[in-house]
Amino acid sequence: MNVKRLILVLGLAGFIVMADNWVVSPLLPTVAREFSVDPARAGVLIAAYMLPFGLFQLLYGPLADRFGKLRVVTISLALFTVATALCASATGLADLTAFRALTGVFAAATMPVSLALISDLVPMQGRQKAIATFMGIAFLGQATSMTIGGTIAALTSWRGVFIVYAAVAVVIVIALFVTTRGMAAQLKGDPNSEFLRPYGRLLAHAPSLRTYLVVFAEGLLILGSFSYAGAYADKALGLQTFAIGLLMAVFGIGVIGGSRLSGRLAQRIGRPRLVALGLGSAAAGDFLLAVLGSHLAAFAVGILLLGLGFMFAHSSLLTTATQFAEKARGAAMSLIAFAFMVGGSLGTMLGGRIILGASYRDLYLSFGVALVALSVIAMLAVPAQGSSRETVAAARRPATEEA
């Protein structure tokens, strides 16, 4: 198997899933007008996707460990394609909400199971580079989703967005079949794997618990910052929707830059220091937005630092998590994805309260200070490469005994 090609295809699967995750936001006014509802009520479409997307992370990891990671990610992506196409056929807000929830259910598998699959195929010395490449492609979808979705909707309609996304997903599913043809037997699962006990072991294992808590806080602060960047650009810079989408795409540039550098930097300075560097870069981005948010160039640099810092920190945390449970890697990656998404959801809610009670500037100042504190904590909490063998052994021993 060409592993580099598989990482590219999985990255494209992550791209379409993450793009689909955020694409509804710029479509809300148009959808609300067509269905004659208030835009605030149409906002249920975002929650309908995000809730199952977060919760079902925990289901797919054990399923992948038992039935095979390749099988689970391929089937779920095919069903994601069908659910996305169904969104284009909606006749009202109720059925569109149901279709978005269904899309979120099937989209939840792609990120954690792909990461577990890559970790199975790539040796430890090259794993951070492989994970960073995958994450760079995937999160480019998040960063460019508003621009892509807004452009497609302007040229066609909001239904056209889902038709195009479904068509792209079909191509990716075919590419995944072609790339992994004949390899399913080598990537089969373990029928004796457990569903819930791996989560208990991971949370009872001190190094993994500390790492998951750092990931939770990272999601809360970085996703919480990014979620309101578009609204802040509208208020501080007076930009239109399309221009805001282009500005948010700078996050993707930072993500790609971070994906190219993180592997070498991790080998040079170690993953705990790279996590701290990433969180510190994100903090600098927040401070820049708070102090100079009314200047376009400074705003763009702030978004760039958020993307760069996110990739440095998150790729390092993901690579660390691949070592926690070699025999239940799907569960380990699902738990880290769950922690990140739940943290991001809470960060978005907390950020909204800060904005309503104070201002955007206070949001970015407070989150920036918290990111600085988290960078210091991460230096102490995240296991270093030198302790990886001990960490793997500690997580694996109970599973081996029980098997």
Question: Each residue of 233-262: pLDDT tens digit?
Answer: 878 888 776 777 778 778 888 888 888 888
Confidence of residue 389 (pLDDT cuts 50, 70, 90): very low
pTM of the model: 0.75
Residue 304 region by backbone torsions, left for phi larger than 0, else alpha for psi between -120 and 50, else beta: alpha
What pLDDT score was predicted for residue 26? 67
Encoded tokens for 246 = 């282009």
What pLDDT score was predicted for residue 322? 74
Give the N- to C-terminal CA distance of the chain in Å, as an integer.
30
Classify residue 200 by burial, with Cβ atoms within 10 Å: 0-12, 13-18, 19+: exposed
What pLDDT score was predicted for residue 171? 96
pLDDT tens digits, one per residue of 14-44? 999 988 877 876 676 778 788 888 755 776 7
Confidence of residue 396 (pLDDT cuts 50, 70, 90): very low
- Topology of 194-403 in CATH? Growth Hormone; Chain: A; (1.20.1250)
Where, residue-wise, is CATH 1.20.1250.20 in the chain?
1-187, 194-403
pLDDT tens digits, one per residue of 71-115? 889 999 999 999 999 999 999 989 999 999 999 999 998 888 888
Superfamily of domain 1-187: MFS general substrate transporter like domains (1.20.1250.20)
User: How far is residue 78's CA from residue 95's CA, in Å, rounded to a whole number?
Assistant: 20
